[in-house]
Amino acid sequence: MKKLLTTILFISHLSGTDYIDYLHPFHPTTSSNGMVVSQNALSSNIGTQILDMGGNAVDAAVAVGFSLATTLPRAGNLGGGGFMLVYIKDKNEIFYIDYRSKSPRNSSIEKLLGAKKIPERNSKLWERVDYTYLASGVPGTVYGLLEAHKNFGVLTLEQIMKPVIEQAENGIVVSSDLNYVIDVTPQLRTDPESFSIFFDNGEPLKEFSIMKRPDLANTFKEISKHGAKGFYEGIVADKIVEAMEKNGGLITHDDLKNYKSFFRMPIALNYKGHMVYTAGPPSGGGITLLTALGVLNNIDIKKYKSDSTKAYHFLAEALRRGHNNRSHFVGDPEYFDVPVSKLLSSKRIKELSSSIDSNKASSIEEVIPFKPRINSKDTTHYSIVDKNGNAVSNTYTLGLSFGSGVTIPGTGILMNSQMNNFAYRYGDKNDISRGASPGNRFEPGKKPMSTMAPTIIFDKNNELFLITGSPGGSDIPAAILRVITGVIDFDLDIGEATMLPRIHKDWPYVGLEHERAVSRDIVRRLKSMGHETEYENTIGSTQSIHIINGVNYGFADLRRPNASVSVQSN
């Protein structure tokens, strides 16, 4: 394993003096203490503040999750949902908490989309749900974070929430990135409450100005005092329901009061001696990732360079088969019997692998869907490890950037846009895509499928090895796969593995998306193999911790601004 910080090259200078050179410019942060890697430095720092107070990885994860609602409002949230993996070292066990948003009980296709049951994707009817109160499912974030704390935390909730409340009250300095995303997000301009928060005199909050969030602070205080009831019942719940009733939304008091997160079994696969754990259904991202890894188990990509044409080709073909595997029979397991074991079986992986041509891109028809016998990119992820070796990998989302754009008056809660993630084309015989998935068909009270895939990996000695995950909608598995193969197959440190150029290939869509860092020569060769290449500025934003011999190597992906590694100080 290359260790960037210990492998240095002494090169003789013309003058006779030596200077130190490094293998690459993407230096991981190193520590034997606890570590937090998130998409915002201020929130990472709050996480390590909790660790310094004696909290564990779960306490820090709860604080970071709430803090990001202030520091990264386009994705950090109280009004969304997600998936969390928790590793407790003393138990040597991984727990998976599903706190995905769910559809309101009184929702229907007619209420959501009008009389037209199978809308055109480019129609105004389809777009109308994105930016209204109808777009939001029942939020799960608060319940999920507090469920993790209740079962695994060591500090009191009041201790954890104190710095989060202070941050919202004192405000944060508006970064150039926050100013930019406010400016380019149309739904913030159409909701009066959101407009009053994120704009000043009709203009997006200026860079270097202070954004204070007393509304969020008050909601945090209710949660701090009353736990989950401080959000799903009482004053906050009353404000959510009142706003829904005034604006045509569907979430009721019963929806909020009856929301529960679930402890589910994570799904896992042995990848070249490393056990990879990730989120199972309603995550389709976990199925995609493990399918791709299963396919690559049958391919020796290590014999190629990490940036070679063949490596990109095999990654693309593996990803395509992963997305095929999630396209029809993955959904909320409370509503649909997802055939996970069959989708990830050696028989199914062999069937998918056998259709790969090492010299030619596969067609839609060559990737055969599983036949049983009977996504916006503004999610966010963070990874945490504490000094005792407990770990959290957490991914959560509002859906679109800033979700539906709707903020519940007086609460600071930005609501999600997850009602757009169901397969509303179910029953359309002409649609072979996920839009017609039987597993993800719309039903009241159901959770839509997601591509979020928080991941924890153990090495050949069953020691904690890698904590990672990414935002990016359908790009999520591609980003995680590139990091995993970079570390395991190509023997790179976490900085270099993170910054490898990325590609994404879905199914049944024909395009192979690639970042601009992929060389023109390789793009040309991929085209000659039959791949229809498309530029993508960035793919994902992994936040990772790689553990080697008890030392933590953290790296925050440079693809998005303001991400940061923070290290426990004591």
What is the H or E stretch that residue 494 is in? helix 494-498
**128 has a pLDDT exceeding 60:** no
Assigned domain for 228 exists = no
**CA atoms of 156 and 71, how far apart (whole Å):** 23
- pTM score above 0.75: yes
Greater model confidence, 428 or 222: 222
Which domain, by its residues, includes 330?
A: 264-271+278-377+464-567
Share of the chain above pLDDT 90, in %: 82
379 catalytically annotated: yes
pLDDT at 255: 98
Q: What confidence tier does 298 reach under pLDDT thresholds 50, 70, 90? A: very high
**CA atoms of 55 and 58, how far apart (whole Å):** 8
pLDDT at 276: 98
Assigned domain for 554 exists = yes
**27 has a pLDDT exceeding 80:** yes
Sequence-distant (≥ 6) Cβ neighbours of residue 167 within 8 angstroms? 42, 46, 67, 70, 71
Residue (of 454, 408, 332) closest to 61 by Cα position: 454
Assigned domain for 48 exists = no
What is the phi/psi pair of residue 499, to 5°? -95, 10
Residue numbering of the annotated binding site for L-glutamate:
100, 450-451, 473
Assigned domain for 474 exists = yes
Catalytic residue among 48, 70, 379, 397: 379
Greater model confidence, 203 or 328: 203
Assigned domain for 10 exists = no
Q: Is 146 helix (H, G, I), strand (E, B) or coil?
A: helix
List pLDDT tens digits, range 418-449: 998 888 888 777 777 787 788 899 999 999 99
Assigned domain for 162 exists = no
Q: How many domains does the chain have?
A: 1
CATH number at 528 reads 1.10.246.130
pLDDT at 376: 61
Assigned domain for 154 exists = no
Assigned domain for 355 exists = yes
Greater model confidence, 451 or 438: 451
Greater model confidence, 327 or 290: 290
Residue (of 416, 137, 148, 149) closest to 262 by Cα position: 148
